[in-house]
Amino acid sequence: MTYLGLALPFVGVSVAVLTAAVLLRRPNRDWWMATGTTLVALLLLTAVFDNLMIAVDLFRYQDDQISGIAVGLAPIEDFAWPLAAALGLPGLSLLLSRSPVDEVRT
């Protein structure tokens, strides 16, 4: 199994959770801003720290298991994990929240 094949189901479930949350709870603009800011921050941190860890040889990827697309030294597949977290966890929080949507603050 490739790294992308491992990551895609997690991203898919996260997108499904987010979609359900948005359709059921209709979050406000503040929620979207917080979720978007979190996503951007996690992707930037992943880019910086994955590149540093790969550069100092803390871990390696098998060339036949990655797509070949990279951001610096980090394969694009590494970005699936912060993407899944930044989409799935806010969606799950929104779904499980008991407060009305107008009161949801992240």
Report percent pLDDT > 90 for the chain. 76
Does residue 25 surpass a pLDDT of 80? yes
pLDDT at 98: 79
Specify the 3-state DSSP secondary structure of 72: coil
- Tell me the residue type at 74: A
Q: Report pTM.
A: 0.83
Distances (CA, A) of 76 to 47, 53, 80: 9, 15, 8
Average model confidence (pLDDT) for the chain? 91
CA–CA distance, 78 with 70 (Å, rounded to integer): 9
- Of 78 and 106, the one with more pLDDT: 78
Note the pLDDT of residue 102: 53
β-pair partners for 11: none
Confidence category of residue 43, pLDDT binned at 50, 70, 90: very high
Residues 6+ apart with CB under 8 A from 8: 80
Mean pLDDT along residues 15-24: 96
